[in-house]
Amino acid sequence: MPAIDIRPAVVEDAGLILRFITELAEYERAAHEVVATEPDIRALIAGAGPSRALVCSVDGVEAGFAVYFFNYSTWQGRKGLYLEDLYVSPAHRGVGAGRALLQQLARIALAQGCGRFEWSVLDWNEPAHRFYASIGAWPMKEWVRYRLAGPALVEFAGAAPGPQGRSTPPEMPNDS
């Protein structure tokens, strides 16, 4: 059995994580959608945002990663853990690395008092569906995920484009 190690990502992992993100996007047929940069990933790892990352190694070789954040369930009155991305390189699949990443995330969720641990998976990714079912997870077929992004988000918010094409939200009233 190979040695599997999972650790919190460090700033020096930014290039590695970006490479894994790109490989994941290629697998998901969405490489053209990756606009993240190494500075973006460094900011994630340095704690500048709400997300956190883990790196998984198999026999001393970096094999995959997970990015997650905490959300909140109004129904449970508790926070939850949301897995944004999980990826294990093809050369390291089938040895337990993905399962080990998910188990580490489950332990983090429990340690943080989370009531649930959720993620999304593409409808056509049957190997992932089978894997997740094998660990006791189930699809939430009654829920449909919606998204506002890019120009639609800017238009809906009534915002004007800012520097680098990012939107500038309308000014909020000062409550003081």
Catalytic residues: 132
Measure the CA–CA gap between 152 and 106, rounded to whole angstroms: 35
Does an H or E element contain 26, and which? helix 14-27
The beta strands (E) that lie in 44-120 are given as 51-58, 61-73, 78-88, 117-119
Q: What is the C-alpha separation between 81 and 121, in angstroms, rounded?
A: 15
Task: Give the integer Cα–Cα distance in Å for 114 and 109.
Answer: 5
